[in-house]
Structure 1
Amino acid sequence: MRPGLPDGHSGAPEHGGSLGNSRRTALTCAAVLAVADLLGVDAASVSTSSPFTDLGLGSTQLARLTAYLEDAMGVEVPLTALYDHPDIEQLVEYLAMR
């Protein structure tokens, strides 16, 4: 069972049907939890709209984030995707469209 979104996080903006929303919510949750774990902070403090670099993630942590998301969600996440989609909301939208 996947964990729910941390308090204060509603997921990505709603688009499409409930299956799409469910996937976006799961991707958002996985990303928020991964970033919180990498930074050693509470998940509720992770902004989904702040760039990864503003959150404090360096290149090594971004590489670890891709590995975490690949393991958690079973989707390939190239490192370049984090630079092309530099915050959780943009990354989730990209991943949900794949």
Structure 2
Amino acid sequence: MVHIRRAAQAAAVTAVAELLGVDAAAVSTDAPFADLGLSSTHLARLTACLEDAMGVEVSVAAMYDYPDIDRLVEHLAMR
């Protein structure tokens, strides 16, 4: 389970960094997506990135229900 969380978190951090054009080290995993500067368009792209990386369906609604990387990863790891 820990391995799944780490992989999901790494995928999410990498995807957010790429979407925003920043270094992955600058992406806080406990900051809300909105505070990171992600728009609704970014969130839709992020779901696609995570689906490709993790092989699980990620709805856009999940991005609002679990509004930061840590909470989203926890949700995805429990599936």
Q: Normalised by the shorter chain, which TM-score bucket?
A: over 0.9
Displacement of 1:26: 0.1
Q: Among the aligned pairs, what percent are the same residue?
A: 68
Select which of 62, 68, 71 maps to 1:87. 68
Q: Which has the higher helix share?
A: 2
TM-score computed with the length of structure 1 as normaliser: 0.80
Matches within 5 A, 1:12-31: 20-31=1-12
Residue of structure 1 equivalent to 2:30: 49
Moved over 4 A (4+): none
Q: Give the whole-Å Cα distance in 1 for the aligned partners of 2:73 and 2:50.
A: 11
Unaligned runs of 5+ residues in structure 1 are 1-19
Residue of structure 2 equivalent to 1:73: 54
Matches within 5 A, 1:59-70: 59-70=40-51
**One-letter code of the match for 2:77?**
A
Q: Give the whole-Å Cα distance in 1 for the aligned partners of 2:27 and 2:37.
A: 11
**One-letter code of the match for 1:47?**
S
Q: Give the whole-Å Cα distance in 2 for the aligned partners of 1:54 and 1:72.
A: 24
TM-score computed with the length of structure 2 as normaliser: 0.99
Displacement of 1:77: 0.2
Which structure carries more relative contact order (alpha carbon 8 Å, separation 6+)? 2
Q: CA RMSD in A?
A: 0.3
Unaligned runs of 5+ residues in structure 2 are none
Residue of structure 2 equivalent to 1:17: none
